[in-house]
Structure 1
Amino acid sequence: MLHTVLRRLASGGSVEQIQPDLIISTGKRKRHNPSMASIYRALAEHAKREAYPEAAEQAHADFAALQGGEVPRPRLALPNRASL
């Protein structure tokens, strides 16, 4: 669904125009339209993943370690990109 939103935004559409055409395919709200807040939340998460890909990769690695019963090692905080 995110790819559809991104593609249509790139072609000049707005979230308000796109929202009625989207359908949730699984879960409790199956066959309903997602809320505007859900779409904006997904776009914000996508923007974070794009801005900080190393953080997203590390979070996936930490989650996999936790699922395997391991405890991820502590890491030092990275400097804020704006201060570099």
Structure 2
Amino acid sequence: MLPTVLRRRAGGESVEQIQPDLIIPTGKRKGQSPSVGSIHRALAEHAKREAYPAAVEQAHADFAAMNNGPLPQPRTPAEG
């Protein structure tokens, strides 16, 4: 969805104009439009990634190193 929002924003449309045309493809809200706040958060995160690419890469590397242990196995219903 973000590429669509970025393209349409570059064309001069506001988030409020774009929001009704977006559809969430998966998950609990599948088929609904995202909130205006969600779109603004995605745009802010994108701007942060664009402004500080080295910091984002380092954060990803740190997270991967922190979680380098064995992956947890799914719990059985009896453990739930």
Smaller-chain TM-score range?
0.7 to 0.9
Name the residue aligned to 1:46: 46
The residue identity in structure 1 corresponding to 2:26 is T
Per-residue CA distance 1:35-68 (angstroms, 9 max, x = gap):
0000000000111111111110011111111221
5 Å-filtered alignment, 1:1-84, equals 1-69=1-69
Distance 2:10 2:53 in 1: 21
Per-residue CA distance 1:6-42 (angstroms, 9 max, x = gap):
0000011111110000000111111100000000000
- Structure 2, unmatched stretches of 5+, are 70-80
Q: What TM-score, normalized by structure 1, do the two folds share?
A: 0.78
SS in 2 for 1:39: helix
The residue identity in structure 2 corresponding to 1:36 is V
SS in 1 for 2:13: coil
Distance 1:6 1:22 in 2: 12
Q: What TM-score, normalized by structure 2, do the two folds share?
A: 0.82
Distance 1:6 1:55 in 2: 22
RMSD: 0.8
